[in-house]
């Protein structure tokens, strides 16, 4: 990656940085003296304070390896440079140097190899970014990031997902029941809260030891996903009328259970991983795969069903939706997922991803500090 000179970057910003890049076969490695990313006039440069770790951070390099590509998704940091074109954008809030922010990158992206949160500095999209409230800790800001927020926006409220109506200011007058599989995950607890804030009824599954956790986030009813009668119990509770299901895990066993739980009339099954055709056993159910990175609105030229064409309407939706969620943060109406800070900075990133890969993490979001405040 060759650095491109930009005259409006302050002279005190270094020309190179430490960052996590892919080597052969999608293996991740820490590198020194990596050029800073090119910053177009309508983007900003953010100094990274902390990052959160997501399953996609190890899955995507493995599925789509690309040597030299940057990695990492969710981050929190401080704006250190603002492109001259940012002021002309219609987005709110207006940004200034020194603002504390949190958001997400599309890491492991071969067509934009400089995009990644596991770095000292990153390129930030000013229209798809959150301002950190003063009372929010850095670890919670990183844990919020934006990848889960983006994914759930497209899954729950975008017309191409469930298309649920309502907003935090005007909740839905006719609430919908929505089953959130794996409610004790970070995506699950956020989905439960967003559904509540938009006026809907979240139902969920998890292990019994996490029942109290998901109820504290607003789940109306929770079931043990390991119970052999779980699907039937959900179907009975919802009077055989459940139409909307969100499955963050999207494995064979989770897809089968979700299909069992849905009512006789079928409905929408939103998968956050690629769903399996062999488990699509009911024609009345419409399965849809959602990737949060699509909210940027750009082409994503990936194979195996992960790609998508540019869609400006997704970006337009995302800008409005992000402003709604910003209000929830400002009013302290979203409760953070339990956070576990991994020590070791750069090595901590690699260690934490291995914990995720081996499924050694339950009901926690892993965060690593990479810089000072």
Provide the CATH number for the domain around residue 271: 3.40.50.720
Last residue of a domain, one of 266, 294, 322: 294
Residue 23, domain member (yes or no): yes
Both 56 and 114 in one domain: the answer is yes
* 121/189 same-domain check: no
- Where in the sequence is the domain holding 186, given as residue range(s)? 150-294
Q: Does 9 map to a domain?
A: no
Instruction: With a cut of 50, say whether residue 371 has pLDDT above it.
Output: yes
pLDDT interval class at 4 (50, 70, 90): very low
The pLDDT tens digits for 192-248 are 999 999 999 999 999 999 999 999 999 999 999 999 999 999 999 999 999 999 999
Share of the chain above pLDDT 90, in %: 91
Residues 83 and 166 both lie in one domain: no
Domain boundary among 294, 329, 358: 294
pLDDT band at 1 (very low <50, low <70, confident <90, very high): very low
HEC per residue, the chain: CCCCCCCCCCCCCCCEEEEEEECHHHCEEEEEEEECCCCCCCCEEEEEEEEECCCHHHHHHHHCCCCCCECCCEEEEEEEEECCCHHHCCCCCCCCCCCEEEEECCCCCCCCCCCCCCECEEEECCCCCEECCCCCCHHHHHHHCCHHHHHHHHHHHCCCCCCCCCCCCCCCCCCCEEEECCCCCHHHHHHHHHHHHCCCEEEEEECHHHHHHHHHCCCCEEEECCCCCHHHHHHHHCCCCCCEEEECCCCHHHHHHHHHHCCCCCEEEEECCCCCHHHCCCCCEEEEECCHHHHHCCCECCCCCCCECCCHHHHHHHHHHHHHHHHHHHCCCCCCCCEEECCCHHHHHHHHHHHHHCCCCCCCEEEEECCCC
Confidence of residue 160 (pLDDT cuts 50, 70, 90): very high
pLDDT digit string, tens, across residues 95-146: 999 999 999 999 999 999 999 999 999 999 999 999 999 999 999 999 998 9
Let me know if residue 5 belongs to a domain.
no
Q: Is there a single domain that holds both residue 224 and residue 105?
A: no
Residues 284 and 234 in one domain: yes
pTM: 0.94
Please compute the mean of the pLDDT values over residues 253-275 and round it to a whole number: 97
């Amino acid at each position: 990656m060759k650095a491109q000179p930009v005259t409006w970057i302050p002279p005190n910003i270094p020309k190179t940085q430490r960052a996590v890049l892919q080597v052969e076969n999608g293996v991740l490695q820490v590198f020194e003296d990596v050029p800073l990313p090119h910053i177009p006039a309508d983007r900003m440069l953010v100094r990274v304070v902390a990052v959160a770790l997501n399953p996609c951070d190890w899955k995507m390099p493995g599925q789509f390896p690309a040597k030299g590509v940057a990695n990492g998704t969710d981050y929190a940091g401080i704006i250190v440079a603002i492109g001259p074109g940012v002021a002309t954008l219609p987005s709110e809030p207006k940004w200034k140097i020194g603002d504390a922010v949190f958001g997400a990158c599309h890491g492991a992206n071969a067509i934009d190899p400089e995009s990644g949160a596991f770095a000292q500095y990153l390129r930030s999209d000013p229209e798809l970014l959150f301002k950190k409230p003063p009372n929010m800790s850095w670890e919670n800001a990183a844990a919020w990031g934006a990848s889960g927020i983006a994914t759930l926006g497209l899954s729950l409220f975008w017309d191409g997902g469930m298309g649920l109506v309502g907003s935090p200011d005007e909740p839905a007058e006719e609430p919908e029941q929505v089953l959130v599989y794996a409610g004790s995950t970070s995506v699950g607890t956020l989905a439960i809260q967003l559904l509540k804030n938009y006026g809907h009824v979240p139902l969920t599954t998890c292990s019994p030891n996490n029942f109290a956790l998901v109820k504290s986030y607003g789940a109306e009813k929770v079931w043990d996903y390991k119970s052999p009668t779980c699907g039937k119990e959900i179907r009975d509770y919802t009077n055989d009328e459940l139409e909307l299901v969100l499955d963050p895990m999207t494995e064979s066993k989770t897809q089968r259970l979700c299909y069992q739980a849905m009512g006789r009339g079928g409905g929408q099954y939103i998968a956050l991983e690629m769903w399996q055709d062999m488990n699509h056993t009911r024609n009345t159910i419409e399965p849809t795969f959602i990737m949060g990175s699509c909210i940027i609105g750009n082409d994503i030229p990936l194979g195996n069903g992960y790609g998508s064409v540019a869609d400006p309407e997704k970006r337009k939706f995302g800008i409005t939706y992000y402003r709604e969620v910003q209000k929830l943060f400002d009013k302290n109406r979203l409760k953070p997922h339990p956070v576990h800070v991994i020590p070791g900075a750069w090595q901590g990133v690699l260690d934490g991803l291995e914990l995720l890969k081996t499924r050694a993490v339950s009901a926690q979001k892993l965060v690593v500090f990479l810089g000072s405040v």
